[in-house]
């Protein structure tokens, strides 16, 4: 595993899946928000320079300054860093075609290192595939969180990304199995772990509530905290942050035997 870039206390985690459409941006935004709720100083950066979507997920696609400005040398990282109403910090990428002009992906590593100061965890929403952008995102990270779906094409592309990350010396945090429907056509968790050679650390179900939260431009953990996807996202955030957490029981926190007795006696 590589050494941390500049700030030893900051974890820089690339989030990608090799294949587009597996839900990596949704996982990045919601995982970042969930970890922020746990009190971790969390920053998410959209390093998908040609097809960025993180800003849309967090409700403000247009920003005065973006990562593209930073990579062109026209802004400092602090100028391109914004705070979502949830408290999560975000550095978006520009969505205009003109933003691509004179953008230098090779400067991404320094930009991420500069942005990492003062944060516990930085998530990079990386470009799909194995191209220049994807490689730049991996080089800027110390760890990789691989997002995939339980279908063979997605898992095959995920394996290619894992191999690339290993060649670059990037540690593998684990595999997030996203949009699980439970259909018989899906690969089993055991088969996926066998193919990828790394454990599945979260299994997030297909959930229409996630689509509703995207329309509301609100992280799922705030929009529908008791939904299955929100609970799994919080569980994943706790695992990554090394935080002890148990999902709340229905009807609120469980009462102790004494509280139940006192409640029964109306004391």
- The helix (H) or strand (E) run that includes residue 105 is none
Q: Report yes or no on 110 lying in a domain.
A: yes
Average pLDDT over residues 180-207: 96
Residue-level pLDDT at 78 = 95
Question: Per DSSP, what are the bridge partners of residue 203?
Answer: 177
Per the domain annotation, does 260 fall within a domain? yes
| Cβ contact 125:15 at 8 Å | yes
The first and second tokens of residue 76, run together, are 């400092």
6 is a domain residue: no
What is d(CA 107, CA 68) in angstroms, rounded to the nearest whole number? 10
pLDDT above 70 covers a percentage of the chain that reads 88
What are residue 16's DSSP bridge partners?
A: 146
**CATH number of the domain bearing residue 228:** 3.40.50.300
Confidence of residue 267 (pLDDT cuts 50, 70, 90): very low
Distance CA 42, CA 59 (A): 18
**Domain, as residue range, for 121:** 11-265
Within a domain: 56: yes
pLDDT of residue 217: 87
Sequence-separated (6 or more) residues with CB below 8 Å from residue 142 = 1, 2, 3, 4, 5, 11, 12, 13, 170, 171
What tens digit of pLDDT does each residue of 124-139 get?
999 998 889 999 999 9
Q: In this predicted structure, what is the pLDDT of residue 254?
A: 43
pLDDT the model gives residue 104: 75
From 143-157, 189-203, 236-250, the region with the lowest mean pLDDT: 236-250
What pLDDT, on the 0 to 100 scale, is given for residue 98? 66
- Residue 81 in any domain: the answer is yes
pLDDT in the model for residue 12: 97
Classify residue 3: in a domain, yes or no.
Answer: no
CA distances from 15 to 22, 51, 59, 95, 107 (A): 11, 15, 20, 20, 19
DSSP conformation class of 53: -
> Based on the structure, what is the number of domains in the chain?
1
Over the stretch 6-63, which tens digit does the pLDDT of each residue have? 445 799 999 998 888 899 999 999 999 999 999 999 999 999 998 899 988 888 767 8
**Once rounded to an integer, what is the mean pLDDT over residues 112-128?**
95
Give domain status of residue 4, yes or no: no
Q: What is the DSSP letter of 249?
A: P
Residue 5 lies in a domain: no
């Amino acid at each position: 595993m590589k050494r941390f870039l500049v700030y030893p206390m900051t974890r820089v985690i690339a989030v990608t899946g090799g294949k587009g459409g597996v839900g990596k941006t949704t996982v990045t935004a919601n995982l970042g928000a969930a970890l922020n709720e746990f009190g971790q100083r969390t920053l998410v950066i959209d390093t998908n320079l040609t097809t960025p979507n993180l800003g849309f997920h967090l409700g403000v696609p247009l920003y005065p300054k973006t990562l593209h400005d930073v990579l062109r040398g026209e802004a400092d990282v602090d100028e391109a860093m914004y705070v979502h109403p949830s408290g999560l910090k975000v550095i978006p990428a520009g969505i205009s075609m003109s933003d691509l002009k004179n953008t230098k992906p090779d400067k991404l590593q320094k930009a991420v290192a500069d942005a990492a100061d003062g944060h516990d965890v930085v998530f990079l929403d990386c470009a799909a595939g194995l191209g220049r952008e994807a490689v730049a995102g991996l080089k800027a990270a110390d760890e990789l969180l691989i997002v995939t779906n339980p279908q063979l094409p997605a898992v095959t592309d995920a394996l290619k990304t894992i191999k690339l990350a290993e060649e670059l010396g990037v540690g593998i945090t684990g595999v997030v199995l996203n949009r699980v429907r439970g259909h018989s056509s899906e690969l089993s968790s055991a088969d996926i772990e066998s193919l990828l050679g790394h454990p599945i650390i979260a299994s997030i179900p297909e959930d229409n509530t996630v689509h509703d939260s995207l329309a509301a431009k609100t992280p799922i953990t705030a929009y529908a905290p008791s939904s299955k996807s929100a609970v799994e996202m919080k569980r994943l955030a706790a695992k990554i942050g090394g935080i002890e957490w148990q999902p709340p029981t229905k009807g609120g926190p469980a009462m102790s035997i004494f509280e139940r007795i006192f409640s029964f006696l109306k004391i």
